[in-house]
Amino acid sequence: MMSSELLSFGWLQQLLVVLLKLTLSFAEPTNGTECTARGPASYILVFTGHWSPQTFPKQYPRFRPPAQWSKLMAITHNKQHRLFQEGALASIGVQNFAEVGVTVDLVKGAKDARKRRAVGAMYRTAGIATGIGHSSTELLLQPRSPLLSLMVKVIPSPDWFVGVDSLNLCEGDKWKQEVTLDLQPFDAGTDSGFTFSSPNYPTVPQENITRITSQMPKHPANSFYYPRLTELPPIASIQLTRQRRSSSRQTPMSNHILPHPSHPQRFSETPLDCEVSLWSSWGLCLGPCSSAGVRHRTRYILLWPANAGAPCPEMEEQTECTAYNCLKPQ
């Protein structure tokens, strides 16, 4: 009887050990990344556009519409929610915002996630009517939602945007004091246009969100294709500065457009080489067959050089006629 009780106790002990291991394996690892700050933190977010014909001269949009930025959409959240993710498919909200600037589905997604306590708050700023400019808003982050994600559409573009995915502003029990990030363009993977002014051309099947670089997509028609550059200059940037808040004095700031740069432009001009078409066919020789006439071929400029880029070559070429291509008089 004693031995059976010992066996039963040993079996129960082993079962408890197995259950404890399973519980620990399914538990979400913290790795010290959970925010344990005692209270919220207020930040001023400043978005700055650096999109200029000096830094991005290729096909720079000047008319209908000129280069500009959409409203900024930002959310504070935890690890249970993502606004967008590089390498993943865009949600319908991200697609509609990246293609046409519509925010309805993004707002709906954020509200649904807020009901699950995955999103803390949502913020918007007004758009910027030029490629270079600033907008700002005040953010309030809580320890339960210390991550910041945001998106701004590149206008005009097929489905391009700049953004930040899950920036953690809390380290242990402390909030970061200041963060500055340079931003590069993303392709939402829902429209196959190559240029800023491309017509609507849906990508079927839909592709993952990818980062646009100076080499990718590797196509001469791509508006961001600069083969001489190892990387694109920042097209935009954000700066987050923590605010001191007190009951006696607060600094409310929301949806402002700042007319003057807070920092001087620090990016050099991007050289743009001349691009020309293929040669046309050789023309007919109209000279008399008894003498050495000439024939011509031409090409035209696809892209004018800018910012000390390689100049254009000759647009016309000629060569001597030969007997078989001599046009005899009637």
pLDDT digits (tens, 9 = 90+) for 57-69: 999 999 889 999 9
User: Do residues 149 and 207 both lie within one domain?
Assistant: yes
Domain count, the chain: 2
CA distance 254 to 126: 9
Q: Is residue 254 part of a domain?
A: no
Residues 148 and 285 in one domain: no
Single-letter amino acid code for the residue at 188: A
For the domain that residue 218 is a member of, what is the CATH number?
2.60.40.2130
Residue 213 contacts residue 186 (beta carbons within 8 Å): no
Residue 288, pLDDT > 60, answer yes
What is residue 269's predicted lDDT score, i.e. its pLDDT?
75
Crossing angle, helix 92-100 and helix 104-115, to 10 degrees?
150
CATH number at residue 311: 2.20.100.10
Q: Same domain for 152 and 281?
A: no
If asked whether residues 45 and 158 sit together in one domain, one would say yes
3-state secondary structure of 31: coil
Residue 14 inside a domain? The answer is no
Domain range spanning residue 237?
A: 41-242
21 domain residue, yes or no? no
Tokens of 326: 């001599």
Which of the pair, 215 or 287, is modelled with greater confidence? Answer: 215
Average pLDDT over residues 210-221: 90
Q: Are 146 and 170 in contact (CB under 8 A)?
A: yes
Average pLDDT, the chain: 83
Q: Is residue 167 in some structural domain?
A: yes
Residues 189, 93 within the same domain = yes
Same domain, 307 and 159: no
User: Are residues 284 and 148 part of one domain?
Assistant: no
Residues 220 and 283 in one domain: no
Give, for 7, the enclosing helix (H) or strand (E).
Answer: helix 2-26
* Kind and range of the H or E run holding 3: helix 2-26
**Does some domain include residue 233?**
yes
Among 51-65, 68-82, 157-171, 272-286, the minimum mean pLDDT is found in 272-286
Examine the fold and report which residue of 185, 220, 242 is the final residue of a domain before the chain moves on.
242
Which of 199, 220, 242 corresponds to the end of one domain? 242
Share of the chain above pLDDT 90, in %: 56
Q: Take residue 42 and report the two structure tokens written for it.
A: 């207020």
pLDDT value of residue 184: 95
Q: Which residue has the higher pLDDT, 302 or 169?
A: 169
Is 130 contained in some domain? yes
Same domain, 238 and 284: no
For 119, the 3-state DSSP assignment is strand
Q: Are residues 185 and 286 in the same domain?
A: no
Q: Do 66 and 190 reside in the same domain of the chain?
A: yes
Place of tokens 């046009």: 327
Specify if 253 maps to a domain.
Answer: no
Q: Are 263 and 281 in contact (CB under 8 A)?
A: no
Q: Which two tokens stand for residue 143?
A: 């320890």
Both 289 and 175 in one domain: the answer is no
Q: Is residue 267 part of a domain?
A: no
Q: How far apart are CA 267 and CA 236, in angstroms?
A: 11
31 or 166: which carries more pLDDT confidence?
A: 166
Residue where a domain terminates, one of 201, 222, 242: 242
What would the DSSP string read from start to end of 233-296?
A: PPSEEEEEEEEP--SS------SEEESS-SS----PPPPB--EE-PPPPPPPB-S-TTS--EEE
Give the model confidence (pLDDT) of 232-271 as tens digits: 999 999 999 999 864 444 444 445 544 444 444 556 777 7
